[in-house]
Amino acid sequence: MIIYGTNGAHVRTTPLPADAACPGCATSGTMQLSVFSRYALIYWIPLFPYSKPAVLQCGHCQQAWEEKNVPSELREPARALKKGTRAPLWHWSGLGVLAALIGWGAIASSQDARANAAYLDAPHVGDIYTVREKDGERNYSLLKVVSVKGPTVDVVPNEFQINNNHPIDELNAPAKYSKESFALSKFELQIMKNKGQLTDVDRLEE
């Protein structure tokens, strides 16, 4: 269950220009505007601010006006003060974390792609290829490199398929591989990768 909601916080209270007079008691220089920020929450983490309610109050007679009721002669200075008041950055922290995670994911996946290309280019005994059949639900399996001869590798296929694009955790046990190996050239491996049939390369032992 995702827990979400909204909350509000006082941002700042600023005096209106000294010539602004209170519409209630006519005192000048006592008007002040309080600006609040309302923000969305997810799991108690502020996600983003979505509105900035403001309240105008007279420090002398204590009368207060919500934004929509602010008398017309004070509307413009109140609006200017509100415009100059920003929601604090921490009201954005959820979106900030999300953006950082997405950026980190993009970096990690491009590093993984570079490592895969390097491994395919210079195969080692023990490299494990994740391969994917075109159809069917349980369509991921493994090929394990058992020898490298120049531009060709010998691989043994795993005898199992699962419906998980990271089958290595479940399938990489010696007993689960066939005893019969077959040869693949680096060129063929490259074609399999380009076609999306070879989706990952893992090198467990260095």
Give me the least distance between CB of 92 and Zn ion, in Å please.
36
Interatomic CA distance for residues 165 and 140, integer angstroms: 6
From candidates 18, 25, 106, 125, binder to Zn ion by CB under 5 A: 25
Instruction: Kindly identify the residues of this chain, within the stretch 44-83, that bind Zn ion according to CB under 5 A.
Output: 58, 60-61
Determine if 186 is a binding residue for Zn ion (CB under 5 A): no
Smaller CB separation from Zn ion, 22 or 142: 22
Q: How far apart are CA 47 and CA 44, in angstroms?
A: 9
End-to-end CA distance of the chain: 42
Q: Would you say 24 or 157 has its CB closer to Zn ion? A: 24
22 binds Zn ion (CB under 5 A): yes
Q: Answer yes or no whether residue 24 interacts with Zn ion by CB under 5 A.
A: yes
- Tell me which H or E stretch contains 148: strand 140-149
Distance (Å, rounded) from C-alpha 189 to C-alpha 153? 9
**Using the rule CB under 5 A, is 32 a contact of Zn ion?**
no
Is residue 23 part of the contact set for Zn ion (CB under 5 A)?
no
CA-to-CA distance for 15 and 58, rounded, in angstroms?
A: 10
